[in-house]
């Protein structure tokens, strides 16, 4: 169902009037994790000031260590909704448990399925059964074929509102947190009719690489870029090394605008 052979025209996902997959790139910004209303509200204000409409934030955080911050859960989703409503934004947040999908539907506009859950088939089926758009991230060690099949699980349940997200894969290279597989973008665009995003934060794990990789993503035809922004990354409860502060966010955004020829 996700194959280009089955449907030649591009699937477009519309959120708050922003069309994802129609040829002009869209952007998702927000903190790694929801920490407080004040924190999310401050980021949402910056996002809105740029005329953007899409806000991310993790409430259920899939952390490598059980002793690291696990996220605020349902309270985090409520905070996201409150901040997003205040600034007229759409919310993207990761759900890790099929049982949470129904209650999350009241608070979020897009269900994110994270890299670690790309092959959690019960979660994929539950996301497919809900009629919410889904942002599906590529698994840490997933081949492109496995990634496409994961999207197929969602669409097989009748939900075609899927955004694919390349977020880097695990290789022997240690200079970056993961290795951004940039060629996955044109391959996914050729093989499927779904919009393709690139997450520059988790693929690189390095603040200094956010801009060059975002430009690369746009150059190879990505439908959008996701990156993390935090009021004070030094004290962030997760991903402190790669989130942008507001000043860095401004320069990132200005450079992207210039790159795209928007003045």
> Closest distance between Mn ion and the C-beta of residue 33, in Å?
7
Nearer to Mn ion, 71 or 128 (CB): 71
| Nearest Cα to Cα of residue 34 among 246, 250, 239 | 239
> Closest distance between ligand PEP and the C-beta of residue 226, in Å?
7
239 binds Mn ion (CB under 5 A): yes
Nearer to Mn ion, 109 or 199 (CB): 199
Q: Which of 2, 13, 20, 32 binds Mn ion (CB under 5 A)?
A: 32
Binding site for ligand PEP (CB under 6 A): 32, 58, 62, 94, 114-116, 137, 167, 199, 202
Nearer to ligand PEP, 62 or 158 (CB): 62
> Closest distance between ligand PEP and the C-beta of residue 150, in Å?
13
The site partner of 132 among ligand PEP, Mn ion, none (C-beta below 5 to 8 Å per kind) is none
The site partner of 114 among ligand PEP, Mn ion, none (C-beta below 5 to 8 Å per kind) is ligand PEP
Nearer to ligand PEP, 25 or 114 (CB): 114
> Closest distance between Mn ion and the C-beta of residue 199, in Å?
9
The site partner of 115 among ligand PEP, Mn ion, none (C-beta below 5 to 8 Å per kind) is ligand PEP
Contact between 163 and 194 under an 8 Å Cβ cutoff? The reply is: yes
3-state SS string for the chain: CCECCCCCCCCCEEECCEEECCCCCEEEEECCECCCHHHHHHHHHHHHHCCCCEEECECCCCCCCCCCCCCCCHHHHHHHHHHHHHHCCEEEEECCCHHHHHHHCCCCCEEEECHHHCCCHHHHHHHHHCCCCEEEECCCCCCHHHHHHHHHHHHCCCCCCEEEEECCECCCCCCCCCECCCCHHHHHHHHECCCEEEEHHHHHCCHHHHHHHHHHHHHCCCCEEEEEECCCHHHCCCCCCCCECHHHHHHHHHHHHHHHCCC
User: For 156-183, b where at least 16 C-beta lie within 10 A, e where not — what string?
Assistant: eeebbbbbbbbbbbeeeeeeebbbbbbe
> Closest distance between ligand PEP and the C-beta of residue 80, in Å?
13
Closest chain position to ligand PEP (CB): 114
Nearer to ligand PEP, 1 or 74 (CB): 74
Nearer to Mn ion, 119 or 240 (CB): 240
> Closest distance between ligand PEP and the C-beta of residue 118, in Å?
8
13 binds Mn ion (CB under 5 A): no
Where do contacts with Mn ion occur on this chain (CB under 5 A)?
Answer: 32, 239
């Amino acid at each position: 169902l996700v194959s280009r052979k089955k449907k030649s025209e591009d699937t477009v996902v519309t959120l708050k009037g922003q069309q994802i997959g129609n040829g002009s790139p869209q952007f998702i910004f927000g903190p790694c994790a929801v920490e407080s209303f004040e924190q999310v509200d401050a980021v949402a204000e910056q996002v809105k000031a740029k005329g953007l409409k899409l806000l991310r934030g993790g409430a259920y955080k899939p952390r490598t260590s059980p002793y690291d911050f696990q996220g605020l859960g349902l309270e985090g989703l409520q905070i996201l909704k409150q901040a997003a409503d205040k600034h007229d934004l759409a919310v993207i947040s990761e759900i890790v448990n099929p049982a949470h999908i129904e209650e999350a539907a009241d608070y979020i506009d897009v269900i994110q399925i994270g890299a670690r859950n790309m092959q959690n088939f019960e979660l994929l089926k539950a996301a497919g059964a809900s009629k919410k758009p889904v942002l599906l991230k590529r698994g840490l060690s997933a081949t492109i074929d496995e990634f496409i099949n994961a999207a197929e699980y969602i669409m097989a349940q009748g939900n075609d509102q899927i955004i694919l997200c390349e977020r880097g894969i695990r290789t022997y290279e240690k200079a970056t947190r993961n290795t951004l597989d940039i060629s996955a973008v044109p391959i996914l665009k050729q093989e499927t009719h779904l919009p393709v995003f690139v997450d520059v934060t988790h693929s690189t794990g390095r603040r200094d690489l956010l801009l060059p990789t975002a430009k690369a993503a746009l150059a190879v035809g990505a439908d959008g870029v996701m990156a993390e922004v935090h009021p004070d990354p030094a004290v962030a409860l997760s991903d402190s090394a790669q989130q942008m502060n507001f000043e860095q966010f401004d320069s990132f955004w200005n450079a992207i605008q210039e790159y795209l020829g928007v003045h």
